[in-house]
Amino acid sequence: MGSIIAKRVGTDILKFNTFEKEIRICIYEEITNGRKLTEIINQQHENIKYLPGHKLPHNVVAYLDVVETVKDADILLFVIPHQFIERICNAIKSHVKNIAFAISFLKACLFVFAYSIQ
C-alpha cells in the first residue's frame, strides 16, 4: 500500500508549485533478487517486491533512515503496520518540524491515550 500511495503522491505533487517535489519513503531494507530494495527503487523506480510492474515517479526516493526521511517535512504520511507506530514516533519526535502534520493510513488501531509525538 505504501508504494501505491507514494506513486500517487509523487505523480500528483508535480502538478503544484507550492510543494517540494521530492517524496521520501522510508524502506525497511530487504534483499530482493540479490539486491537491496532501496537501490532497486532508487535506480529502477520500481518496488519489485511489493508493487511489481508499476513504475514509481523519479521524484520518489527511498531512504533507510526514518529520521533522514522526515527531515524538513511539513507533511508525514504513515503507511506502516500498527505495531511500529509508537517506535517510529519516538524515533522521529525530536526531528519533526513543529508545524508538520501527519496523515495515517494504518490498517489497525493502536489505543494509546494522550499520546503525542511532541
Reported as a single tens digit per residue, the pLDDT across 72-84 is 999 999 999 888 8
Query: What's the pLDDT at 16?
Result: 94
User: Cell digits for 45?
Assistant: 523506480
Query: What's the pLDDT at 41?
Result: 98
Residues 54 and 3 placed together within one structural domain of the fold: yes
Q: Containing domain of residue 29, as a range? A: 1-64
Please write the tens of the pLDDT for every residue from 20-50: 999 999 999 999 999 999 999 999 999 999 9
Q: What SS3 class is residue 35?
A: strand
* Span 84-99, average pLDDT: 94
All residues at 6 or more sequence positions from 84 whose CB lies less than 8 Å from its CB, including other chains: none
Residues 71 and 32 placed together within one structural domain of the fold: no
Check pLDDT > 60 for residue 101.
yes
Residues 69 and 27 placed together within one structural domain of the fold: no
Check pLDDT > 60 for residue 95.
yes
Q: Where are the alpha helices (DSSP H) in the chain?
A: 2-13, 37-44, 66-70, 85-92
Given 44, 64, 84, the domain boundary residue is 64
Q: Which residue has the higher pLDDT, 44 or 110?
A: 44
How many domains does the chain fold into?
Answer: 2
Residues 81 and 98 placed together within one structural domain of the fold: yes
Instruction: State how far Cα 97 lies from the chain centre.
Output: 16
Residues 58 and 74 placed together within one structural domain of the fold: no
Query: What's the pLDDT at 1?
Result: 87
